[in-house]
Amino acid sequence: MSNLAMIKSSLRRVKDSVIRERLLMVQAAYKEPLRNVGKSFGCTHGKVDYWKKRYDKYGLKGLYTKTRSGRPAKITEEQAKEIRKIVRNHDVKRGWRTSHIRNVIYEKAGVKYSVRQVIRISQSWGLSKIKPRPRYAFSKKEDRADFIKKTVGT
């Protein structure tokens, strides 16, 4: 079975849109120059050549994105679950400051993360980084409504 016939049969089976696009790119690379394929798919000819070589070497499995291990976490999964539970059971109206979450992580796990890393961790836990806006305590409701009406159009 030729490569083009194998690609056509694979196109019928594959549901993932990214893999389908890569398959179509490889299919076109067998028929026309790599630069033309790159222009039609909106990428460089080097990227087309990369996917074509991966397909030739590994077949359909070569078109899937390789997983990367990355740096290992400094805290264990059990510690992360415990800290996440503490953070989520906190009073929702008050919210959390990043520095407070950072201190809880340090107290429970003994690891000191940077503020930016704590933001990343808290976002992975499903927390948002929205900062509540202060509201003037003595303002009247009518004044606030008038202000909102005036600023909506701008």
Per-residue pLDDT, 25: 94
C-alpha 126/C-alpha 140 separation (Å) is 35
Give the domain extent around 55: 3-63
* Any domain includes 47: yes
Asked if the model's pLDDT at residue 135 lies above 60, the reply is: yes
Per-residue pLDDT, 134: 64
* Any domain includes 134: no
Asked if the model's pLDDT at residue 94 lies above 60, the reply is: yes
**Last residue of one domain, picked from the residues 63, 98, 115:** 63
Do 52 and 90 sit in the same domain of this protein?
A: no
Do 53 and 9 sit in the same domain of this protein?
A: yes
Do 42 and 91 sit in the same domain of this protein?
A: no
Q: What's the mean pLDDT in 60-67?
A: 90
Better-predicted residue by pLDDT, 92 or 72: 72
C-alpha 95/C-alpha 93 separation (Å) is 6
pLDDT per position as a tens digit, 44-53: 999 999 999 9
* Any domain includes 145: no
Q: What's the mean pLDDT in 82-108?
A: 83
DSSP 28-66: HHHHS-HHHHHHHHTS-HHHHHHHHHHHHHHGGGGGSPP
